[in-house]
Chain A
Amino acid sequence: MANPAETPDPNPSTPKLESEEIEEINGDEEEEEEEYEEEEDDGKPQTREDAIASRIQAASLFRRMRAAPVPVRVHDVIVKGNEKTKDHVIEAEVDVLREATTLQELLKASKVANFNLQALDIFDSVKITIDSGPPELPGTTNVVIHVVESKSPITGQIGTFTKAEARSSSLEGSLKYKNIFGYGDIWDGSLAYGCDHSAEVGLGMYLPRFRGRPTPFTSRVYLSTQEWLKFSSYKERALGLSFGLIASKYHELVYTTAWRNLIDPSQMASTSIRRQLGHNLVSALKYTFKFDKRNSPLRPTRGYSFISTSQIGGLAPDSRTLRFLRQEVDLRYAVPLGFYRAALNFGVSGGITFPWGSGYKSRASYVPERFFLGGNISPVCSLGGPSALWGFKTRGLGPNEPRREVQDEENGGTYERDFVGGDVAVTAFADLSFDFPVKWFRDRGIHGHVFACAGNMAELSENKYRKFSGPKFLETFRSSVGAGIVVPTSLFRMELNYCHILKKQEHDRAKSGLFMTFSTS
Chain B
Amino acid sequence: MEGDQETEVYTLVARKPSFDLPTACPNCLPAYIYLKLAKLPFELAFNSTFPDSDELPYFENGTYVAYNNEDGGVIEKLKKDGIVNLDAQLQSLPEYLSLKALIASWLEEALTYEIWVGTEGISTSKIYYSDLPWVISKVLFYKQTYMAKNRLGITKETAEQRETQIYKRAGEAYEALSTRLGEQKFLFEDRPSSLDAFLLSHMLFIIQVLPETSVLRCKLLEHNNLVRYAEKLKAEFLEASSSSPSPPLHSFPSSFTRKGSKPKSKPKVEKTEEEKKFKKRARFFIAAQFLAVVIYLSVMGGGSSDEPEYEDEDD
A-side residues, CB < 8 A to B, are 108, 112, 115, 249, 259, 265-268, 270-272, 274-275, 277-281, 292-296, 298-299, 301, 316, 318, 320-321, 399-409, 442-446, 487-491, 494, 505-507
A465 → chain B, closest Cβ, in Å?
14
In the complex, identify which listed stretch (B27-35, B111-119, B174-182, B298-306) lies at the interface while the others stay far away.
B298-306
Q: Mark each residue of chain B from 23 to 51: 1 if its CB lies under 8 Å from any CB of chain A, else 0.
A: 00000000000000000000001011111
A269 → chain B, closest Cβ, in Å?
9
- The answer on a CB contact under 8 Å between A404 and B63 is yes
- The answer on a CB contact under 8 Å between B47 and A275 is yes
Q: How far is the CA of A511 from the CA of B72 in the complex (A)?
A: 43
A229 → chain B, closest Cβ, in Å?
10
- The answer on a CB contact under 8 Å between A320 and B299 is no
Number of interface residues of B (CB under 8 A): 52
A265 → chain B, closest Cβ, in Å?
7
- The answer on a CB contact under 8 Å between B133 and A489 is no
Kindly list chain A residues whose C-beta atoms are within 8 Å of the C-beta of B308.
296
- The answer on a CB contact under 8 Å between B63 and A402 is yes
In the complex, identify which listed stretch (B153-161, B218-226, B247-255, B260-268) lies at the interface while the others stay far away.
B260-268
Kindly list chain A residues whose C-beta atoms are within 8 Å of the C-beta of B227.
none
- The answer on a CB contact under 8 Å between A281 and B135 is yes
CB of B256 within 8 Å of the partner chain: no
Kindly list chain A residues whose C-beta atoms are within 8 Å of the C-beta of B304.
445, 488, 490
CB of B163 within 8 Å of the partner chain: no
- The answer on a CB contact under 8 Å between B305 and A320 is no
- The answer on a CB contact under 8 Å between A295 and B307 is yes
Kindly list chain A residues whose C-beta atoms are within 8 Å of the C-beta of B131.
320
Kindly list chain A residues whose C-beta atoms are within 8 Å of the C-beta of B302.
443-444
- The answer on a CB contact under 8 Å between B261 and A490 is no
Q: Which of B267-313 contact A (CB under 8 A)?
A: 267-268, 291, 294-295, 297-299, 302-310, 313
Q: How far is the CA of A320 from the CA of B16 in the complex (A)?
A: 15
Given contacts A271-B60, A399-B2, A445-B304, contact A320 B132 (CB under 8 A): yes
Given contacts A108-B314, A278-B49, A444-B303, contact A266 B65 (CB under 8 A): no
A278-B49, A406-B264 known; 10 new pairs, CB 8 Å cut-off, are A265-B267, A265-B268, A267-B67, A275-B47, A318-B133, A404-B65, A408-B263, A445-B305, A489-B295, A507-B2
- The answer on a CB contact under 8 Å between A445 and B134 is no
B298 → chain A, closest Cβ, in Å?
4
Q: How far is the CA of A267 from the CA of B136 in the complex (A)?
A: 23
- The answer on a CB contact under 8 Å between A491 and B294 is yes
CB of B241 within 8 Å of the partner chain: no
- The answer on a CB contact under 8 Å between B136 and A279 is yes
B119 → chain A, closest Cβ, in Å?
24
- The answer on a CB contact under 8 Å between B305 and A442 is yes
- The answer on a CB contact under 8 Å between A487 and B135 is no
Question: Which B residue sits closest to A319, measured CB to CB?
Answer: B133
Kindly list chain A residues whose C-beta atoms are within 8 Å of the C-beta of B135.
259, 281
Of A265, A293, A403, A490, the residue contacting B303 (CB under 8 A) is A490
CB of B243 within 8 Å of the partner chain: no
Question: Which A residue sits closest to B258, measured CB to CB?
Answer: A407
B47 → chain A, closest Cβ, in Å?
6
Kindly list chain A residues whose C-beta atoms are within 8 Å of the C-beta of B136.
259, 279, 281
CB of B53 within 8 Å of the partner chain: yes
- The answer on a CB contact under 8 Å between B303 and A489 is yes
Kindly list chain B residues whose C-beta atoms are within 8 Å of the C-beta of A272.
1
- The answer on a CB contact under 8 Å between B49 and A488 is no
Kindly list chain A residues whose C-beta atoms are within 8 Å of the C-beta of B55.
267, 277
B118 → chain A, closest Cβ, in Å?
26
CB of B239 within 8 Å of the partner chain: no
B83 → chain A, closest Cβ, in Å?
14
- The answer on a CB contact under 8 Å between B291 and A494 is yes
A404 → chain B, closest Cβ, in Å?
5
- 13 A/B residue pairs, CB under 8 Å, sorted by A: A115-B313, A259-B135, A266-B267, A275-B13, A277-B55, A281-B135, A295-B307, A295-B309, A402-B63, A403-B63, A405-B63, A442-B305, A488-B304
Name, among A279, A280, A295, A409, the residue most crowded by chain B CB atoms within 10 Å (CB to CB).
A279
Q: How far is the CA of A445 from the CA of B304 in the complex (A)?
A: 6
Kindly list chain B residues whose C-beta atoms are within 8 Å of the C-beta of A271.
60
Closest 4 CB pairs of A and B: A278-B49, A278-B50, A296-B307, A489-B298
CB of B315 within 8 Å of the partner chain: yes
Kindly list chain A residues whose C-beta atoms are within 8 Å of the C-beta of B297.
490
B67 → chain A, closest Cβ, in Å?
6
Kindly list chain B residues whose C-beta atoms are within 8 Å of the C-beta of A507.
2
- The answer on a CB contact under 8 Å between B299 and A266 is no
Of B13, B263, B266, B295, the residue contacting A268 (CB under 8 A) is B266
Kindly list chain B residues whose C-beta atoms are within 8 Å of the C-beta of A265.
267-268
- The answer on a CB contact under 8 Å between A494 and B295 is yes
- The answer on a CB contact under 8 Å between A280 and B49 is yes
Kindly list chain B residues whose C-beta atoms are within 8 Å of the C-beta of A403.
63
Question: Which B residue sits closest to A266, measured CB to CB?
Answer: B266
Q: How far is the CA of A275 from the CA of B46 in the complex (A)?
A: 8
Of A279, A298, A399, A405, the residue contacting B132 (CB under 8 A) is A279
Q: How far is the CA of A292 from the CA of B313 in the complex (A)?
A: 13
Question: Which B residue sits closest to A442, measured CB to CB?
Answer: B305
B267 → chain A, closest Cβ, in Å?
7
CB of B102 within 8 Å of the partner chain: no
- The answer on a CB contact under 8 Å between B305 and A443 is yes
B48 → chain A, closest Cβ, in Å?
8
Question: Which B residue sits closest to A248, measured CB to CB?
Answer: B315
Kindly list chain B residues whose C-beta atoms are within 8 Å of the C-beta of A506.
2
- The answer on a CB contact under 8 Å between B133 and A490 is no
A381 → chain B, closest Cβ, in Å?
12
CB of B4 within 8 Å of the partner chain: yes
- The answer on a CB contact under 8 Å between A279 and B50 is yes
B253 → chain A, closest Cβ, in Å?
17
Q: How far is the CA of A494 from the CA of B292 in the complex (A)?
A: 12
